[in-house]
Amino acid sequence: RKEVEQDPGPFNVPEGATVAFNCTYSNSASQSFFWYRQDCRKEPKLLMSVYSSGNEDGRFTAQLNRASQYISLLIRDSKLSDSATYLCVVSQGTGNQFYFGTGTSLTVIP
């Protein structure tokens, strides 16, 4: 069983739409949770950390449900520039063992 599972998509949405991505993780001892963004053939970049209380950064909202071992990312008012692959990431152990989901592909259409 994979440590982190994501729906690969692709998600094709019109500009202005709201889109949600989900991710599940298998190890209940996982410590930290993140969403990264990766543009084609480029390095991943941190989008936001995910906290137990939920957190928001502009149009992006992340939620963590430890009981269900579930992480979500909500993007409101999608922009063309949001087109990318979104990676769900969890850390375990000393906090430096990272497990990545395979990513969810998003294309925002004009």
Partner 1 sequence: EAQVTQNPRYLITVTGKKLTVTCSQNMNHEYMSWYRQDPGLGLRQIYYSMNVEVTDKGDVPEGYKVSRKEKRNFPLILESPSPNQTSLYFCASSSRSSGRNYNEQFFGPGTRLTVL
- What does the binding site for partner 1 look like in residue numbers (CB under 8 A)? 4, 32, 34, 41-46, 48-49, 87, 91, 94-103
Q: Which two tokens stand for residue 102?
A: 């395979």
Calculate the CA 11 to chain-centre distance.
13
Nearer to partner 1, 32 or 69 (CB): 32
Nearer to partner 1, 22 or 102 (CB): 102
DSSP 35-82: EEEE-TTS--EEEEEE-TT-EEETTEEEEEETTTTEEEEEE-S--GGG
Nearer to partner 1, 90 or 108 (CB): 90
CB of 99 to partner 1, least distance (A): 7
CB of 98 to partner 1, least distance (A): 6
Strands 60-65 and 70-75: antiparallel
Nearer to partner 1, 59 or 80 (CB): 59
> CA 75 to CA 64: how far, in whole Å?
15
CB of 25 to partner 1, least distance (A): 13
